[in-house]
A and B are shown apart, each in its own frame.
Chain A
């Protein structure tokens, strides 16, 4: 296996930032670690980059133990959240920094920097431009080119898109995916946005309180969240308790006790005697137009439920309406905790 993490742990004082993380990453994978702030994902990636020494555990690259190898000797490179560009240098000197550290002469460095500029689709006249005069998106590309310069085996990304506005982020997400395809390198990416992870990743690990609680391809995480936490992390979902084989006081055949994850699109109004596995009285509070769909907030079962209806169905539903709503158990996911 290309990269193996064995029982990694990092303890700061009394805080277990990373708690016994073991996983394997094949070469060339786009692997994303998703978690809320404080989940330990940053510490984990810093251990892998060699910027932090783990309290326990090992990191193996192609079978060789690199746990205590300093960052400057690892064949890895990190794109920082702040990008950490050298503001006292030009774009060219930033990109060529790793090559300079390797002792590559100026002429060869210049040639390679030009190639890298092309690769990240920055114009050649950026070479002498001060980094401080670049726009946000340009800086992003300079940081990518700088990280790629020494031809590392693994690229780490520490939430590089989190400070960028929505529209540009969407463009850069696509570029990042494209860059991964063109380089064929292993990308290990961390973010707090599962949505961002879904777009780009081959595989996603969900991290919580220093531990990885679910790992799998995006479709699997979406279709079968392992817990309430993962389901809620994915966006707006409704969580209903299941106890004694019943949901909302109605029998739920084949559903284990725990929680039922009901997606907004699973809920529908039951007009004209229509039936559903589980049904309840609800009052429509608000509606929000989402383009082709409309979202409704319902007061029902002593909580606020979120429902989403396609335009055709939504036309007949208005705030203030009272009526029967329901969903089928087949559209729901059952989780234990």
Chain B
């Protein structure tokens, strides 16, 4: 068998799966997004009406909230993950494995279950935090439940491991002697960070940030469970268009806009990443 043919055959299963599961649905959604509003056929005259409606009917708000939430989550997770990754990665630390397991463990528990746990914890009056404080210390506090802050905290809590673990991989690629050499050549801690650590750990940080951004952009549960009615995110708006409003073309247009935002962020970063270095380490 020719080498090339074997390669294509090996690609076939995932190719079929991606065609059925990814390319076809996206094609259908893209087609629906240019159909006349509130139709269920894919044969109508092409129109840009749904995209115009997305901006004139106030749908830019959920899109903005999702983009803002995803950006803030990514940035805050990166800032928290860097020192955590440094601490966990520092060789020979006895607790680093235990700590890494503790951080990874929640991933194996359903996201909704964890978010409802967070909701119970934050609930005003009889919630775990407010209730305990009142019972033990006679302290009465308000609650951030059902606010945008709670939704953001939920996003950060859920997506932190997705930033942390790629970042640890990225940091492990920074040779110790290059950090020492930079220091020896007169670089301060900050200069070592900017000149050596950050550029060399960038592939790991970028993968973590991309995972976090894309997941947070499509996240719905955090806003629904912890944010209450305080914020409507893009996914929620899309779901409403498809389900309650029965306006598939508008839902499809909103979906295409979310995909566009994702593509605008992901592709420029992917193009600059050197994945070979991460894989062949």
Contact = CB atoms under 8 A, between A and B. Distances in A.
Interface in A229-284: none
Contacts of A149: 185
Which of B184, B195, B200 gathers most chain A CB within 10 Å? B184
Nearest to B176: A84
Nearest to B196: A86
Interface string B176-199: 011011111111100100011001
Contacts of A73: 186
A86 B191 CA distance: 14
B188 A72 contact: yes
A21 B180 CA distance: 24
A49 interface: yes
Contacts of B195: 86, 97, 100-101
A204 interface: no
Contacts of B191: 101
A71 B183 contact: yes
A86 B196 CA distance: 8
B106 interface: no
Interface residues of B, number: 17
Contacts, number: 61
B177 A97 contact: no
Interface in B142-163: none
Given A80-B177, A84-B175, A84-B177, A101 B184 contact: no
Main secondary structure of the interface of B (DSSP, over half): helix
A101 to B, nearest CB: 4
A101 B195 CA distance: 10
Contact of A77 (B185, B188, B196, B200): B185
A186 interface: no
A150 B182 contact: no
A149 B175 CA distance: 22
Contact of A150 (B178, B180, B185, B200): B185
Contacts of B178: 84-87
A254 B178 CA distance: 56
A88 B182 contact: no
A298 B163 CA distance: 67
Given A86-B196, A88-B200, A101 B185 contact: yes
B177 A98 contact: no
A146 B178 CA distance: 13
Contacts of A49: 184
Contact of B181 (A70, A78, A88, A100): A78
Interface string A104-147: 00000000000000000000000000000000000000000011
A223 to B, nearest CB: 37
A6 B46 CA distance: 86
Interface of B: 175, 177-178, 180-188, 191, 195-196, 199-200
The 4 closest A-B pairs by CB, nearest first: A84-B181, A84-B177, A101-B186, A98-B185
Given A51-B184, A76-B184, 6 more contacts: A72-B186, A73-B186, A84-B175, A85-B178, A86-B182, A97-B187
20 contacts: A50-B184, A51-B183, A71-B180, A72-B184, A72-B186, A72-B188, A76-B184, A77-B184, A84-B175, A84-B177, A84-B180, A86-B178, A87-B200, A97-B185, A101-B187, A101-B188, A101-B191, A146-B185, A150-B185, A150-B186
